[in-house]
C-alpha cells in the first residue's frame, strides 16, 4: 500500500479528516472485530466449528451493530487476522492522540461512509418504488444535511437500484479510488490490506 503518491497526498489534504469521535468509533470497530475474531479462533483451536445459545445470540447482535454502523466491516473480520485488527486499533488510537492520520485511516472512514450512503439510498428506493427524481433528490439532500459524505450524485439512481453484479461495493471502489487518486486495487488494499 503506497502512501507516497502525490495524488493521494493531495486528496488527503482536501479530504475532511475524521475527527476525534470518528477516530474513537473506528478504534472501537477494530477492537470489537479483533475480539470477535479472537473468540472464533479460540473456538476453532478447541475443535468447535460453531457457537450456540447465548454466545451465538451475543455474536449475532455484535455483527448486526457492526454492519449497521460500519457497513463492510464484517468483510474485514473475515479477511483480517486478530493481530492486524489490534494493530489497526492501536494506529487509529495513536492518530487520535497525535493528530497525525496515517493515509489509510480517512480512506477506511470514507469507505464505510460511502457504503452506508449507498445502502441508505437503496433502502429508500426499495421503500419508494417508482418515486420521482425530485423525491429521490430530496432524500439525498436529507442525507447530506445529516452529514453523509454524498459521494454519489442523484444521477447514480439507476446504478444504485441495479449495481454491477448486484454488489454495492462495485460502486464504492471506483468512487473511493477517484476521491483519493488511487487505483481500485489500492483502495481495497487501504481498507482490507495489512498496514504499511
pLDDT digits (tens, 9 = 90+) for 88-139: 999 999 999 999 999 999 999 999 999 998 999 999 999 998 888 888 888 8
Distance CA 1, CA 5 (A): 10
Which residues lie below 8 Å from residue 44, measured CB to CB, with a gap of 6+?
Answer: none
Residue 12 has pLDDT above 60, yes or no: no
Residue 194 has pLDDT above 70, yes or no: yes
pLDDT score, position 15: 53
Taking the mean position of all CA atoms in its chain, how far away is CA 170? 14
Going from the C-alpha of 86 to that of each of 15, 26, 39, 81, the distances in angstroms are: 26, 12, 14, 9
Residue with the bigger pLDDT between 90 and 8: it is 90
pLDDT score, position 146: 67
Residue 7 has pLDDT above 60, yes or no: no
Share of the chain above pLDDT 70, in %: 88
Q: Give the range among 57-61, 104-108, 146-150 with minimum mean pLDDT.
A: 146-150
Going from the C-alpha of 117 to that of each of 15, 94, 152, the distances in angstroms are: 17, 28, 8
Amino acid at each position: 500500500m503506497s502512501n507516497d503518491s502525490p495524488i493521494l497526498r493531495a486528496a488527503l489534504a482536501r479530504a475532511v479528516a475524521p475527527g476525534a469521535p470518528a477516530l474513537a468509533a473506528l478504534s472501537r470497530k477494530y477492537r470489537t472485530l479483533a475480539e470477535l475474531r479472537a473468540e472464533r479462533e479460540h473456538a476453532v483451536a478447541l475443535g468447535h466449528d460453531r457457537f450456540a445459545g447465548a454466545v451465538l445470540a451475543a455474536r449475532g447482535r455484535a455483527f448486526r451493530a457492526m454492519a449497521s454502523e460500519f457497513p463492510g466491516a464484517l468483510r474485514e473480520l473475515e479477511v483480517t487476522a486478530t493481530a492486524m485488527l489490534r494493530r489497526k486499533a492501536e494506529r487509529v488510537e495513536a492518530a487520535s492522540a497525535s493528530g497525525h492520520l496515517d493515509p489509510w485511516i480517512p480512506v477506511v472512514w470514507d469507505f464505510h461512509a460511502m457504503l452506508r450512503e449507498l445502502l441508505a439510498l437503496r433502502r429508500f428506493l426499495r421503500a419508494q418504488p417508482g418515486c420521482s427524481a425530485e423525491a429521490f433528490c430530496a432524500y439525498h439532500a436529507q442525507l447530506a444535511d445529516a452529514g453523509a459524505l454524498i459521494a454519489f450524485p442523484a444521477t447514480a439512481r439507476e446504478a444504485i437500484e441495479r449495481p454491477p453484479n448486484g454488489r454495492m461495493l462495485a460502486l464504492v471502489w471506483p468512487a473511493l479510488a477517484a476521491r483519493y487518486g488511487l487505483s481500485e486495487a489500492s483502495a481495497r488494499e487501504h481498507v482490507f490490506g495489512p498496514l504499511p
